[in-house]
Each structure stands twice: as C-alpha cells, then as structure tokens.
C-alpha cells in the first residue's frame, strides 16, 4: 500500500489522500496510512477514535457522513474535528445547534446519467443542484461556515464524464457562494471509488487520475484551495488475500460440481452481495492443470444466497483442498459477521 500512496501523490499531486476508514479498519492498515502522512475519512465516532488514538491531528480528519447522529457530532466537537459533510438544510440546522463552529462541506449529488457506478451513492446522499441555492442562503442566514464542496461518483463510477460534470458543478457553487456574500470557499473533496484492478482500463486509477488532475487545474487553479480525495478501495484492495477450505462437495446431473467452503458471503465474501464479481484460484497451482467443469462455490451457512459464484468453469477439486482470493482487502473483512454461529476467519500478517 506504500506504493499506492506514492502513485496517488505522483498522479494527483494537488490532492491530499484521506483514507476512507470504512473500507478496512484493520489497525495495521490505519497505522501504515498514518506513517505515510495521509489524512482520514471517518464516518462515525468509532472511526474517528480509531485514528485519533494513533496520534492523528484532528485537522487531518474529515467527518464524512452527510447525516450524523447528535452524539457523533458532539464527539467531533469534543475532539476538534471541524470538517464535516452535509447535504440538506435539515442537517445544516442540526450541526448549527450542536457545533456552530463546524466547517461544513456541502456534498452534492452525482446525476445517474453521469456515473457508471454499480451502485449510485447519490440515491442516498448528495444535494441536487436544484436545492443548492436554498442551502447556501440558509448558511448565510444562520451564519454557518460552508468550507467547500464534496462529491462521490460511486465505486466504479470514476470516469472522465463523471468527474468533468462534478468538478464543473463544484466550480459553479464556489462562484455562487461568493455572489451571495458567503465567505470564500477553500476546500474541495473529490471522493473515492478509485481502483487499480478494474478490467475496464478507462476506469482504472492510472488512466483517470491524470484526467482528473487536468480538470482540477482548469477549474480550480487557485493553490489556496485544499483538494482532498477519500480513497478506500484504492488503498486497501490489494493488501489482503483470503484462503478457504473446501469442506464438502456434491455432483449434480451433467457433472456440475458444487463445492461448500468454510467461508461464505457472511464470513469473507461479503462483496458478492454488492454484485461484485468474485474470483477464486487453487492455492496449489498444480490443480489448475486438472480437467475443468461447470462449478458453483457455496458458503457454509444455511442461507441460499450464501454463494461465492455460480456456473463458472473451474478445475475439479477434492474435499480438503484450498482456494485463494486476491485483491480481497476492500470491505470484505469489515462487513463479515458470525451468522449461523460460524466465526469470522482469523487474520494473519506477513511481510513480502
């Protein structure tokens, strides 16, 4: 992950990296990010506290949850974490009542037509442009500091089209805020969703980052504007691998093999529930030379949705053999649980 941070800083030299803790909150990952002098995107009191105990300066944390409970806003106030996102007049009024000195960052929505993300986060969060004027006017009326603008194009939605649209929207809001007499904004958060392993090269970080950098120079040339990104997947996706044992199998008509693993969507393949494609390889490379047949891999619970994938051509395995997943570090561990009484797998660390 040290290399990922270096690549980020090379391709997006103006964009400060704030690691999204939600992606993988393993203490060693957080400590490594801190060692690399990154900032952090925290979505809850627990996430804020997990990085503060590492000695992170509160200025290096953004409370990036547009709708927050009262206790978490009070915690941010206590810890001196001023930067926090919001996306509606109701949330701005709530922040005002609890933490009037907060530095609010208005999160704007990404239009569905501008993103290719599998799940458009703007269905849940983000102010549409039609509501921005009312939000700015309220901020002026109640004297709340709108520090800047945030957006997120969605995981897998990091494309030239999406960023071109969002950065231009942000520029318009910066300008409009000045027109109505609000203090000059000096902060832009371009979100996350980046990856280095997408099969579509035009969505890979190496391709899209220079385009984003150029757009930022075009629309936000002022060096006084701090620009951050909230990569989670980009940082964590390749730092973890997962090994699972085949604990049973059966063969159905036509020779279709069904294998049952000691892990499933509840214990480590959770992103299958998000419709992300899963990959398994034999831990013993010699198995790849065996005859292949149509295959389904299932988890160990009694839930019929607990499968890793169905109907792919795979080599024939024996019970007791192991399969391996790579690029497994984003979300799978933090979403795992002990459903059906099956514990989450152990985590082991090694240095390459």
Residue 178 pLDDT more than 80? yes
pLDDT at position 112 is: 65
Catalytic-role residue among 33, 296, 302, 314 = 302
For residues 244-267, give the mean pLDDT: 95
Average pLDDT of every residue of the chain: 93
**Which of 55-59, 235-239, 343-347 is the most confident on average?**
55-59
- Map residue 302 onto helix, strand or coil: coil
pLDDT tens per residue across span 18-62: 999 999 999 999 999 999 999 999 999 999 999 999 999 999 999
For residues 205-211, give the mean pLDDT: 92
Q: Does the residue 157 lie in any domain?
A: yes
Q: Which of 236, 256, 281 is the last residue of a domain?
A: 236
Grade residue 99 by pLDDT with cuts at 50, 70 and 90: very high
Residue 138 pLDDT more than 80? yes
Q: Which of 188, 216, 236 is the last residue of a domain?
A: 236
Q: Does the residue 352 lie in any domain?
A: no
pLDDT at position 120 is: 67
The 10 Å Cβ neighbour count of residue 269 is: 27
Grade residue 220 by pLDDT with cuts at 50, 70 and 90: very high
Residue 345 pLDDT more than 90? no
- Map residue 245 onto helix, strand or coil: strand
Residue-number span of the structural domain to which 20 is assigned: 2-236
Q: Does the residue 224 lie in any domain?
A: yes
The 10 Å Cβ neighbour count of residue 271 is: 18
Cα gap 288→271, rounded to integer Å: 25
Q: State pTM to two decimals.
A: 0.93
Say whether 337 is catalytic: no
Cα gap 15→116, rounded to integer Å: 23
The 10 Å Cβ neighbour count of residue 224 is: 7
pLDDT at position 114 is: 62
The 10 Å Cβ neighbour count of residue 71 is: 11
Q: Does the residue 328 lie in any domain?
A: yes
Answer for the pair 86, 125: CB distance below 8 angstroms, yes or no.
no
Structure tokens at 324: 């391996």
pLDDT at position 151 is: 96
Cα gap 12→215, rounded to integer Å: 11
pLDDT at position 117 is: 59
The verdict on 230 and 287 lying in the same domain is no
pLDDT at position 193 is: 86
Structurally, how many domains does the chain consist of?
Answer: 2
Q: Which of 172, 202, 236 is the last residue of a domain?
A: 236
CATH of the domain at 218: 3.20.20.10
Cα gap 208→309, rounded to integer Å: 30
Grade residue 350 by pLDDT with cuts at 50, 70 and 90: confident
pLDDT at position 240 is: 93
Q: Which of 23-37, 142-156, 177-191 has the lowest mean pLDDT?
A: 142-156
Answer for the pair 84, 105: CB distance below 8 angstroms, yes or no.
yes
CATH of the domain at 254: 2.40.37.10
Q: Does the residue 348 lie in any domain?
A: no
The verdict on 268 and 207 lying in the same domain is no
Task: List strands edge to edge, sheet with 281-282.
Answer: 281-282, 322-325, 242-251, 257-261, 292-298, 307-315
């Amino acid at each position: 992950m040290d290399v990922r941070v270096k690549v980020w800083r090379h391709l997006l030299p103006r964009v400060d990296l704030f690691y999204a803790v939600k992606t993988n909150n393993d203490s060693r990952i957080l400590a490594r990010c801190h060692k690399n002098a990154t900032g952090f995107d925290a979505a809850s009191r627990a996430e804020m506290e997990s990085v503060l105990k590492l000695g992170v300066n509160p200025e290096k944390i953004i409370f990036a949850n547009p709708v927050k409970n009262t206790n978490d806003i009070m915690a941010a106030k206590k810890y001196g974490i001023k930067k926090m996102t919001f996306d509606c007049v109701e949330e701005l009024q709530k922040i005002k009542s609890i933490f009037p000195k907060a530095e609010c960052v208005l999160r704007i929505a990404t239009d569905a037509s501008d993103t290719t993300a599998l799940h458009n986060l703007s269905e849940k969060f983000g102010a549409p442009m039609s509501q921005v004027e009312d939000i700015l006017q309220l901020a002026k009326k109640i004297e709340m500091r709108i520090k800047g603008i945030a957006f997120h194009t969605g995981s897998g939605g990091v494309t030239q089209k999406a960023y071109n649209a969002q950065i231009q929207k942000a520029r318009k809001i910066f300008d409009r805020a000045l027109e109505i007499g609000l203090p000059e904004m000096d902060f832009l958060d371009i979100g996350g969703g980046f990856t280095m392993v997408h099969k579509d090269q035009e969505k890979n970080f190496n391709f899209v980052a220079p385009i984003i950098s150029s757009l930022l120079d075009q629309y936000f040339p002022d060096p006084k504007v701090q620009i951050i990104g909230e990569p989670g997947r980009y940082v964590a996706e390749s730092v973890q691998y997962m090994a699972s044992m085949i604990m049973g199998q059966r063969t159905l008509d036509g020779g279709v093999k069904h294998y049952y693993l000691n892990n499933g969507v509840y214990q480590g393949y959770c992103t299958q529930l998000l419709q992300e494609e899963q990959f398994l390889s034999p831990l013993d490379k010699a198995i790849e030379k065996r005859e292949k047949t149509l295959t389904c891999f299932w988890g160990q619970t009694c839930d019929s949705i607990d499968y890793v994938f169905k109907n792919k051509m795979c080599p024939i395995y024996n019970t007791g053999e192991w399969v391996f997943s790579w690029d497994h570090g984003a979300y799978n561990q933090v979403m795992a649980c002990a459903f059906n009484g099956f514990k989450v797998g152990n985590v082991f660390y090694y240095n390459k």
